[in-house]
Structure 1
Amino acid sequence: MYIWLFVVPVASKLLIHIGDTANIIIFSHEFNVNLNLPFSWKVFYLAAVFFTLATLLFKFRCPKLIRDHKNFDSFSAEKRPEWHLMFYAEDIGINFSEYKEKYKDNRKLYALIEPDAVTTGPITSGMFWELHRHSNRERAISYYSCLILYMAGLFCIAWVFIENLNWVLQSW
């Protein structure tokens, strides 16, 4: 992702010195190829900047549980024990032992309200999902900033796409 911050300006500088057309000969037939680029390098570079900033923000501000595990299967596939959730809870400022006790109490209360519900067995999955939901609500400013940066990058790419489409339709 970060490579585009360096590739786009270098490619732009290299291609700026090439003429607008090139003559290519293939099997004794000469073809005139238009080398004009139908899009703005500045907008393309701006998209790369937005995507890079969004990716960096995600990398450094996203809660570790969200970044490391999209679902419980990912967590259990790594053979993580229940106590490993402690590191993810601490990352978002939650005392894990208090969180675990509260979860167990809520589970017992739910069993009283819904006696037919399955509330027995390992609690790791339920704790994971509760912590996952809580992590989703943490760091809202970073979340929305990342969303806005990705949307701005997509808007720039859409702009470049529309410029290209317009250029093709006009030259048709």
Structure 2
Amino acid sequence: MGHVDHPDPRTPRHPASHERRHTMTARIPVTVEGNLTGDPEHGASDAGNDWARFTIAVNDRRFNDTTGTWEDTGTLYHRVVVFNHQAKNVAASLHKGDNVLVAGDLRFGTYTDKNTGETRETRDIVADNVGASLKFASITVERHPKVDGPAATGPSTTPTASAGILR
């Protein structure tokens, strides 16, 4: 199942088929570890707030007691969006193939496909924290000066589908 990448997160992932979108607001905290499937996209909203978006692949492996070996049981893909100063850091620091840890809220949404009239579902992680995994890599931490205001604590408002960031 392929998808079209757009440089502007307000542009629907499904061209010409995005009619109306609803997002459930229940908070579902998640933490996932996976590998970036591509370099993060980075941009800014009309209000000047930075965002970055990327997809991670989470490989599920389980130990088979019968054979005594580890087996791959599938891959799950998560779209992730992060905001403000952290978005700049993600875009500057992470690249395709990097192993990352993401903590945030799982958000579900729907939209109506104009071509088929069918309701489609979406699932995104709105990240509070993104970091490189040190399991198989080492990094040098470069601290930035403290930022005051909303950018220091996260989004000033809860992102919604109507803002077009989540899709």
Q: TM-score w.r.t. structure 1 length? A: 0.20
Of structures 1 and 2, the larger Rg is shown by: 1
Tell me which of the two structures has the higher relative contact order, counting C-alpha pairs closer than 8 angstroms and 6 or more residues apart: 1
More helix by share: 1
Q: TM-score w.r.t. structure 2 length? A: 0.20
